Amino acid sequence: MKKVITYGTFDLLHYGHVNLLQRAKALGDYLIVAISTDEFNWNKKQKKCYFSYEERKRLVEAIRYVDLVIPEEEWEQKISDIKEFKVDTFVIGDDWEGKFDFLKDYCEVVYLPRTPEISTTQIKKDLMK
């Protein structure tokens, strides 16, 4: 069984997220999604989420492409997650191009194109207008 993992905040879930998860799942048989916890988002990313970790986890778990959701609690956990879950492919949006090449020592790394016309950042900006 080929396992794929991706990471993200997945706040204000939208069709760009679903597109990413669908394309990630197409690269393997089992998709693991690591969702940033509230503490990690606030303390390390200086990002406040609209939905709590538990709410975001519940939403992502409801997507049919997703087999398992785990918490992302620190930047450094990616290597241990890849080893623990015996991951074959790490997938992330191409806005991170090159940033995770160090993981190529552990698994295949794929940068997928983002859905260009949608992002959580843009949704938040549009709501403030």
Residue 128's pLDDT band (boundaries 50, 70, 90)? low
- Exposed/middle/buried for residue 118 (C-beta within 10 Å: 0-12, 13-18, 19+): middle
Read off the pLDDT of residues 106-116 as tens digits, 9 standing for 90 and up.
Answer: 999 999 998 76
Tally of CB atoms within 10 A around 109 = 18
Active-site residue identified among 45, 86, 99, 104: 45
**Average pLDDT of the residues of the chain:** 91
| Sheet of strand 68-72: strand arrangement | 68-72, 30-36, 3-8, 89-93, 108-112
Phi then psi for 102, rounded to 5 degrees? Answer: -60, -20
Catalytic: 47?
yes
DSSP 103-126: GGGTSEEEEEPP-TT--HHHHHHH
Q: How far apart are CA 14 and CA 78, in angstroms?
A: 24
- Give the count of beta carbons closer than 10 Å to the beta carbon of residue 77: 16
Is 45 catalytic? The answer is yes
Per the listing, tokens 């930047």 go with 75
Say which of 2, 44, 47, 86 is annotated catalytic.
Answer: 47
Contact 7/78 with Cβ under 8 angstroms? yes
Give strand ranges (E) for 1-129: 3-8, 30-36, 68-72, 89-93, 108-112
> Each residue of 23-56: pLDDT tens digit?
999 999 999 999 999 999 888 877 788 899 999 9
